[in-house]
Amino acid sequence: MSDLQTPLPQPAAEPAPTCIQTMDILDLMSILPHRYPFLLIDRVIEIDRRKRLVAIKNVTMNEPHFQGHFPNYPIMPGVLIIEAIAQAGGALLLTDIPHRHTKLMVFTGIENAKFRRPVVPGDQLRIEVKVINWRTNAVKMSGTATVDGKLACEATIMCALVPNAATRQPFSFDPPADPASPAE
């Protein structure tokens, strides 16, 4: 048998890649309605659609809440950590909603919120949300925020989709025609 007829060795089959999607800040801004200083996630590093999402928030001293919370010991307010968890949930939820530009995701409840350690400038929050229950217009999720693998915050949040008033047609008041007036 000549060298031309010798079959070449086949490379080993590689495992199928896992379905991990990411989003940068511009992708997030196309999904979430929030803007600076209230857009509280910087990047999505993992998505398992309709199940789980992991996002990153880089905490910097430039954020306006640190001017007063607290001037000599800056700590990220816990309510903003909860909001970051909700925004991560919004990024997960809104990626699967048709006509999402006509909707807003709003809080309907927060349960079992616990704060375990302070979050300070220089920290990187790793925010993970997991779907507990998903309905057409509402979702219940568990969320955690960690810094260097240590739990900083955990909560269960409930959110609902509502119409976005910014996309409503402007109100127009056309008074009914006066029956006593002649038609034009």
What's the number of CA atoms in the CB half-sphere (13 Å) around residue 20?
8
DSSP structural state of residue 58:
E
> Residue 79 belongs to what H/E stretch?
helix 78-94
Rg value, the chain, Cα: 24
Q: In the beta sheet, which residues pair with residue 106? A: 160
Active-site residue, from 65, 69, 99, 101: 69
Report DSSP letters for 5-55, one per residue.
GSPPPPPPPPPPPP----B-HHHHHHH----TTS----EEEEEETTTEEEE
For 60, the token pair is 């910097």
For residue 37, whether the previous peptide bond is cis, meaning omega lies within 30 degrees of 0, is yes
Active site residue 69: yes
Looking at the annotation, which residues are catalytic? 69
